[in-house]
Structure 1
Amino acid sequence: MSNPPSIFTRIIAREIPADIVFESDSIIAFRDIAPKAPLHILVVPKTEAYRNVTELAAADPGLLAEVVATAQLIASEHSDGQYRLIFNTGDNAGQTVFHVHAHVLGGTLTEGSLGF
């Protein structure tokens, strides 16, 4: 029995609405529904093949580079190019969706202000 599609796969398929700010053939980026910063956008590869950034880096470093470049583009457009990029890997690290994704956080951020 296969796992049901992740919420991100369902957003990619347009089964669930999202505030999409960027899309290419391999990447989608949309605003987080529970933002932890003034700017909080998720950058998600369209493939569900990788559960976390470690798997992505080992299997497809080019796609990981595209995720990072997309984060920079989003920060340039929405946050004066200044941002924090976070990948959560594992339950204890706060990962709740096991479809690799990056959190782009921007706006006024201070050390210790983000609890994840």
Structure 2
Amino acid sequence: MSQDTIFSKIINREIPADIIYEDEQALAFKDINPQAPFHVLIIPKQPIATINDITPQDAPLIGHLYVVAATLAKQQGFSEKGYRVVMNCNEDGGQTVYHIHLHMLAGKQMGWPPYQEHKKQ
């Protein structure tokens, strides 16, 4: 299950990234294709391919990713006005790198639904 991904290469410093946070369990870096004025990816250092692969034993790690998001929101000044945190799962969910990651977006008003184009099944 632990395939070599672009994220594992960032964790191992094999490729560069604009890292803004790191601890023993997680890493956060700026998205190279930002969808908001502030768009970072928060990843666990432990490789987990998709949400479907999360086990009950991973619950503390997944919770930690959200603690990192809240910490970054406070540090960056977004905690009061708000921000969005999203985790995509598989192709139809928009996942392109198979190493779970939170997208943290802030710095603008977020719409709902996230996109207006609805495809008929």
TM-score of the two chains, using structure 1 as the length reference: 0.88
CA distance in 1, matches of 2:37, 2:96: 21
Question: Gaps spanning 5+ residues in structure 2: where?
Answer: 116-121
AA aligned to 1:29 is A
CA distance in 2, matches of 1:54, 1:4: 16
Question: Gaps spanning 5+ residues in structure 1: where?
Answer: none
Partner of 1:100: 100
CA contact (8 A) 1:85 1:102 kept: yes
Q: CA RMSD in A?
A: 1.9
Residue aligned with 2:64, SS: helix
* Within-5 A mapping of 1:1-116: 4-48=3-47, 50-56=48-54, 58-81=56-79, 82-112=82-112, 114-115=114-115
CA contact (8 A) 1:27 1:46 kept: yes
Q: How many residues get paired?
A: 113
CA distance in 2, matches of 1:113, 1:15: 37
Residue aligned with 2:33, SS: coil
**Range that drifts further, 52-61 or 101-110:** 52-61
Residue aligned with 1:37, SS: coil
TM-score of the two chains, using structure 2 as the length reference: 0.84
CA distance in 2, matches of 1:73, 1:53: 22
Residue aligned with 2:39, SS: strand
CA contact (8 A) 1:52 1:89 kept: yes
Distance apart, 1:112 and its partner CA: 4.5
Q: Where has structure 1 moved over 3 Å in runs of 4 or more?
A: 112-115
Which of the two has higher C-alpha Rg? 2
